[in-house]
Amino acid sequence: MDQIKAQGPEKADQEQEDWIDEIGFKDNAKVAFRNLDPHHAEESHLPFPSSLGRKTCEDLGMDWLAKEKLELRKGQANDCLHHLRMALTKKSVLFHTKPQHASSQTHTTWAWGKINAIELMVKKHAAVYRACRRAMISLGADEDTLVRYRALEKDHLKDSILAWLWTMDVQRDAELNDWMSEFYRGHWLRAKALKDRWEEEVELLRAEGKWTINLFDYKARWDMLAMLSGNGPIS
């Protein structure tokens, strides 16, 4: 992650295309094989198992290949989620340190350039993960697999609240990068502080309720004493 450099959207898109099966995920072998043009091989879309679908692979006697491809897609999805966590962590650290403490406009511009470069990496790995999940569905992934590899939404890429992707492989992240360990520790402390704050708010709310009841009881007693003495209720 320390070697991430600023790059334009075109370069990021090109790298993304290298990871994704461009043919789509259609359960139709004829459509896939018809795209193989021997005269324009560089423009042809290869019929990957995820493009054909699990049923078509079984009909072609390639069920074993579909299973193998599914395992590879799981590994690719794990890598994407790991890179997403690393990129989001570095983005969070840079966002909360560099721009605010920059001593000049040049340093501020440089800091935002680094943040924007990391944001491109986040979008790239998110797109690749979504493609992996579509491929796993096409390859006949079971329900347990799809529950583990959930659909990735835009809100899941925020670091204010840790989404499901942060619980996938915490130990590996912490072992590979000290920043990740510090990130998890910081979020744990923030979550604990938030929990303690809400517990305090609940305690205060209950106490205020009792105080209100005691106040009205106190006024009611004095009103009763005033009426008994013939002076009428206290305003």
75-89 pLDDT, tens digit per residue, is 899 889 888 888 888
- Confirm whether 221 is domain-assigned: yes
Tens of pLDDT along 12-66? 444 444 444 433 444 444 444 555 566 666 666 667 777 777 787 777 787 888 8
- Clarify whether residues 127 and 150 are in a common domain: yes
C-alpha to C-alpha distances, 198 to 134, 156, 186, 190, 203, nearest whole angstrom? 40, 24, 18, 12, 9
Highest mean pLDDT among 88-97, 117-126, 165-174, 191-200: 117-126
- Clarify whether residues 131 and 143 are in a common domain: yes
pLDDT number for residue 20: 45
pLDDT number for residue 225: 82
Tens of pLDDT along 140-163? 888 988 888 988 888 888 766 777
- Clarify whether residues 26 and 118 are in a common domain: yes
- Clarify whether residues 146 and 86 are in a common domain: yes
| pTM, rounded to two decimals | 0.57
Residue type at 161?
I
- Clarify whether residues 120 and 142 are in a common domain: yes
What length does the chain have? 235
Does the pLDDT of residue 167 top 60, yes or no? yes
- Clarify whether residues 147 and 104 are in a common domain: yes
| Separation between Cα atoms, residue 91 and residue 60, nearest integer Å | 46
Residue 12 near residue 124, CB atoms below 8 Å: yes
pLDDT number for residue 106: 67
- Clarify whether residues 227 and 166 are in a common domain: no
Domain of 210? 177-234
Q: Which two tokens stand for residue 222?
A: 């004095």
pLDDT number for residue 153: 87
Q: Given phi > 0 = left and psi -120 to 50 = alpha, else beta, which region is 24?
A: left
How many domains does one find in the chain? 2
Residue type at 128?
V
